[in-house]
Structure 1
Amino acid sequence: MSVNQLSCSPRGRALIEKFEGLRLTAYQDMVGVWTIGYGHTGPDVKAGLTITQQQAEQLLINDLARFNNGVNALVTVKINQNQFDALISFSYNLGLGSLQQSTLLRLLNAGNFQAAADQFPRWDRAGGKEVAGLLARRNAERALFLTPD
């Protein structure tokens, strides 16, 4: 059993919704990945796909369940709800594989919470280019990570 058994809170979900935005027609993101709803990706998303608001909500709920499980499994130290929500937003945007291989996770699991927090802004690139929107998201995630419960 993992150390944490947390689920994304309404605050974490709101952060994800804010930065992902809602698109009911499939589009290609900055690096060409087909995306729909609140940043949902996968083999089910193709050119021409349209969904309803209700379907977008359900996709987000399903995706968050997967990310909740993944972050709970990867983090081996006790964290608070805000730290968890920040890691969910980070992973939702970049993928669990990015979190798994990150210095951020290594530092966090070593108990160095401040150094882990300082890693968030380093993840501000897409397609090899700095993206202001990604830096804004990483700074918001870092701020949430550093907010006591």
Structure 2
Amino acid sequence: MQTSRSGILFIACREALVLTAYADGPHPSIGFGSNNPKLKVGDKITAKAAFDLLKDDIAKRESVLNKALKVPVTQQVWDACMSLHFNTGSRYIWDVVKLINAGDIEGAANLFPECDRNLAGEQKTGLHKRRLLEQTMFRSGEYGALDPIPYWPGDPRTTRMQQYYVQEGDLDV
């Protein structure tokens, strides 16, 4: 299974777009949170290139999720799981997948709000809000607003946030 266009846009809206690489952990980050040891702080990309990186990053996670899920799921369940997996890595997704595979879809949906802690174990309001949106998507297929995307032309810590509206050709799915 693959992430839908709406699922990709949901992730993009929650990750935000940064077109200039900035220091973010062990490697610089660019686009929608892509990082690579070859990147240098200050490197620039286009929105189209950022969406291509996002699709590549999602595809890597899709292969893992496809292997883990042993039962068919709806597109909305897949997209919600992919957003959780994209944002948190493997920390929370396996508990959700285990319940889905056991046929406990409601139990899996109920886990989303509990997956709201950062790596330091601190509960974060922004993560909690995102988990509630993912839970809504999981249950009802409602993806919420998919445009505009929060956008920073430079380092998000030093430049002002703007809004980016997806252009024709930015996201070929």
TM-score bin (small chain): 0.7 to 0.9
What is aligned with 1:16? 11
> Paired residue for 2:50?
56
Look up the equivalent residue of 2:138 and give its one-letter code: F
CA contact (8 A) 1:118 1:142 kept: yes
User: More relative contact order in 1 or in 2 (CA 8 Å, sep 6+)?
Assistant: 2
1:63-122, CA deviations, whole angstroms, 9 ceiling, x for partnerless residues?
Answer: 122122121111111110000000111111111x3255x322221111101011111111
Unaligned runs of 5+ in 2: 143-173
- Specify the code of the residue in structure 1 equivalent to 2:79: D
Higher helix share: 1
Structure-2 residue corresponding to 1:114? 106
Q: Which residue of 2 aligns with 1:93?
A: 87
Q: Determine which of 57, 60, 64 is the counterpart of 1:70.
A: 64
2:102 aligned with 1:130 = no
With the length of structure 1 as denominator, give the TM-score of the two structures: 0.82
Q: Alpha carbon RMSD of aligned pairs, Å?
A: 2.1
Looking at CA atoms only, which structure, 1 or 2, has the larger radius of gyration? Answer: 2
Q: Percent identity?
A: 35
One-letter amino acid matched to 1:78 = P
Structure 1, gaps ≥5 residues long: 1-5
Tell me the amino acid that sits aligned with residue 113 of structure 1: I
Q: Secondary structure at the match of 1:93?
A: helix
- Matched length: 140
Change (3 A) 1:133 1:27: farther
TM-score (norm 2): 0.72
